[in-house]
Structure 1
Amino acid sequence: MNDTSELNRLEKARTSIRSIIKEKGRNHLYDLTGIAGGFKIFKTDLELLETYVGPAIFSEKLNEVGILHFGGDPTIHKAVGFNRTSAAIFSTIMALSNTVKNVIHYVPKKPSHPSIPRSCKIFNLDYFESDNVDEILNKINKKTLTIITGATMDHKIIDLENLKKIISYCNEKNSTVFIDDASGARLRLLYNQPPALELNADLAVTSTDKLMEGPRAGLLCGKKELVNKIYGEGLKFGLEAQAPILAAMVNALKNFKLDNLKEALKRAENIDLSPLVNAGFECEKTPTGFIIKNLSEEKYIDIALKMLENYGIITITAAGMPGASKTLRIDFCSKDAKRITDDYIINAIINSK
């Protein structure tokens, strides 16, 4: 889709959301994106949400809980907040663009999130992505920034042995290794994979609204010298998270419980998708829900917008940012998912066809 079409889609979705809120109220909306997020701020936080006071207080707290979330060591690692995961990725590539010659990116299944190749293009860095491990290994050297996606936009999770193999090779070749763990930081835990920094990655980033109740923001963590360099570049362009976001990130990370994802995993395993198959849809289960496959981009969007307008179901396909995957994905990890039945969701899809 071109930029105009993406913005038109987004505006249609937002118009439907406003209409439902005005006519029926928030309880008639069901965010099944997997990135419903949240914004928990306590009364004790409010008086600290000032331009300079807030970051001084909450950056220290975020460093502590952020390192824990990634399995890091506070003597080696540091965690900082950005206003988006994409901002953290952009800042990383910007900060390292003078010391690396190319960016090599392994994804469990192509394509990658667009923020990575777009950032490389801005800084004139050669970019290569592949879902073939051997292709990746053959291109890694000390002038390479190696990026590994822990879980794709459609929740395809990396094989642990492949992850370990690439990181080990990067360490051997002195290539900086950066794990894009936007949702993978939590999805991989469901399958007993270690956190990124326990695997000896140099850097890792996650989205604090993906599969957890936090704000749309990016948590970057890694070796202190690298993180300081990246954060310093981000500060120059206003890409850092501000006080309210930092506070909400801290609260979200403190309150994160893997049990919520385990409940979504169980529901995904048990849902009966045969009515969708009988209606002509091709389906595939994901760790915390399911996706509809093999439709055209236009059809995905048409169905998603109808589901939103007529059933109040919000999907990334309808309301996601430009460049996000258009595959129709349903995720059960939000509070809203607990308020509606499987039948309601399935009927909404069939009746929106």
Structure 2
Amino acid sequence: MDSLSELNRVNTAREILRKKINDTGRTSIYDLTGLCGGFEICEEHLKLIETYVGPAIFSEKITNAGLNHLSGNSEIHNVVCFNRTSSAILSTIMALSKSFKKLVHYVPEKPAHPSIPRSCGIFGMEYFESDSLEEIISKIDENTLTVITGATMDHRIVSDEIAGKIISYAKSKNSPVFFDDASGARLRRLYGKFPALEMGADLVVTSMDKLMEGPRAGLLGGNKNLVDQIYSEGMKFGLEAQAPIMAAVVTALENFDLNTLKNAFERAEKIDLACFEAEKLDYEKTPTGFIIKNPSEEKLIETALKLLENYGIVTITAAGMPGASKNIRIDFCSKDAERISNEEIINAILNSLK
């Protein structure tokens, strides 16, 4: 879809949401995106939401809690917060494009999240992506920024073996490794995978609203010198998180509980999707839900908008930002998932497809 069509889709979804909430209230909405996030701020921190006072307090808390979340080492790593994960990615490429002319990007399954190639386009970096380890290795040299996606938009997870080989080879070529771990920082923990920084990545970014109850913000961690360089570059353009977002990130990090993901994982494992086979639907289970993906992009969007209008089910396909996956993904990580049964979700999808 072109940018204008994407914007029309988002605006249509927002109009439906406004009408449903005005007519029947928030309880008629079931956000099953896995990106519903949250904006909890304790009373003590509410008093500190000021332009300069807030960041002075929250930055230290984010560093400490962020190092724990990303399994960083305080002696060599730093953690900072951006207003979006895409902002952290943009700032990283903006800063490192001054030293590296190429970006090589391994994704467990193509395509990559559009924020990375788009950022490369802005700063004139040559961009290459592949899901082939051999192709990626062949492209890495001393002029390369190496990027690894920890988990794709549809929750395909990189293996420790492949990530380890890429990191090891990149280091032998003096190529810094940037781990795009938007949801992967938590998904891969669910599978007992090694955190990116423990594997030797120089940088890692994760989203505070993906599979956790935080605001839509990006947490960047890694080598202190690189993080400081990237953060200072981002601040020139207002890409850093402001006090209210930082306060909510502190709460999200301090309250994060992997058991929430484990519960969603167990529900996803047990759900019976055999009825989709009778309808000849191409579906697959994800770690925390499932995906419908074989109709055309147009049909998927139409179905997602019907799911929203008729059943109040919010999906990324309907309401997500431009460039997001058009597959219909149902995620059980949201608090809303507790209020709707598997049978209700499946019937809503089948009826909407018809």
Q: TM-score, normalised by structure 2?
A: 0.99
Task: Work out the CA distance in 1 between the residues paired with 2:164 and 2:349.
Answer: 39
- In structure 1, the residue matched to 2:73 is 73
What is the SS of the residue equivalent to 1:253? helix
- In structure 2, the residue matched to 1:110 is 110
- In structure 2, the residue matched to 1:172 is 172
Task: Work out the CA distance in 2 between the residues paired with 1:143 and 1:64.
Answer: 33
Q: CA RMSD in A?
A: 0.6
What is the SS of the residue equivalent to 1:249? helix
- In structure 1, the residue matched to 2:184 is 184
Structure 1 residue ranges without an equivalent (≥5): none
What is the SS of the residue equivalent to 1:81? strand
Amino acid at match of 2:316: I
Amino acid at match of 1:202: D
1:19-64 per-residue CA deviation (whole Å, 9 max, x = no partner) reads 1111111011000001110011111111100000001100110011
- In structure 2, the residue matched to 1:125 is 125
Task: Work out the CA distance in 1 between the residues paired with 2:319 and 2:2.
Answer: 16
- In structure 1, the residue matched to 2:313 is 313
Contact 1:69 1:195 in 2 (8 A): no
1:276 Cα deviation after fit: 2.0
What is the SS of the residue equivalent to 1:211? coil
- In structure 2, the residue matched to 1:259 is 259
Task: Work out the CA distance in 2 between the residues paired with 1:345 and 1:278.
Answer: 17
- In structure 2, the residue matched to 1:329 is 329
Structure 1 residue ranges (4+ consecutive) displaced by more than 2 angstroms after TM superposition:
none
What is the SS of the residue equivalent to 1:352? helix
Amino acid at match of 1:116: I
Amino acid at match of 2:65: V
1:262 Cα deviation after fit: 0.6
1:295 Cα deviation after fit: 1.4
1:147 Cα deviation after fit: 0.3
Task: Work out the CA distance in 2 between the residues paired with 1:209 and 1:79.
Answer: 17
Task: Work out the CA distance in 1 between the residues paired with 2:127 and 2:2.
Answer: 22
Contact 2:181 2:204 in 1 (8 A): yes
Structure 2 residue ranges without an equivalent (≥5): none
What is the SS of the residue equivalent to 1:127? strand
213-222 or 194-203, which moves further after superposition? 194-203
Q: What are the residue-to-residue correspondences of 1:1-353 with 2, within 5 Å?
A: 1-353=1-353
Task: Work out the CA distance in 2 between the residues paired with 1:108 and 1:152.
Answer: 7
Task: Work out the CA distance in 2 between the residues paired with 1:252 and 1:85.
Answer: 15
Task: Work out the CA distance in 1 between the residues paired with 2:165 and 2:270.
Answer: 33
1:2-34 per-residue CA deviation (whole Å, 9 max, x = no partner) reads 111101100110011111111111011000001
Task: Work out the CA distance in 2 between the residues paired with 1:216 and 1:140.
Answer: 32
1:240-283 per-residue CA deviation (whole Å, 9 max, x = no partner) reads 00001001111101111111101111111100101222123121
What is the SS of the residue equivalent to 2:80? strand
Task: Work out the CA distance in 2 between the residues paired with 1:49 and 1:38.
Answer: 17
Contact 2:10 2:319 in 1 (8 A): yes
Task: Work out the CA distance in 2 between the residues paired with 1:205 and 1:228.
Answer: 14
Give me the identity figure in percent.
Answer: 64
1:106-157 per-residue CA deviation (whole Å, 9 max, x = no partner) reads 0000000000000000111100000000100111112110000000000001
Task: Work out the CA distance in 1 between the residues paired with 2:101 and 2:26.
Answer: 49
Task: Work out the CA distance in 2 between the residues paired with 1:248 and 1:129.
Answer: 34
Contact 1:83 1:239 in 2 (8 A): yes
1:179 Cα deviation after fit: 0.2
Task: Work out the CA distance in 2 between the residues paired with 1:111 and 1:312.
Answer: 29
Amino acid at match of 1:3: S
What is the SS of the residue equivalent to 1:146? strand
Task: Work out the CA distance in 2 between the residues paired with 1:256 and 1:321.
Answer: 25
Q: TM-score, normalised by structure 1?
A: 0.99
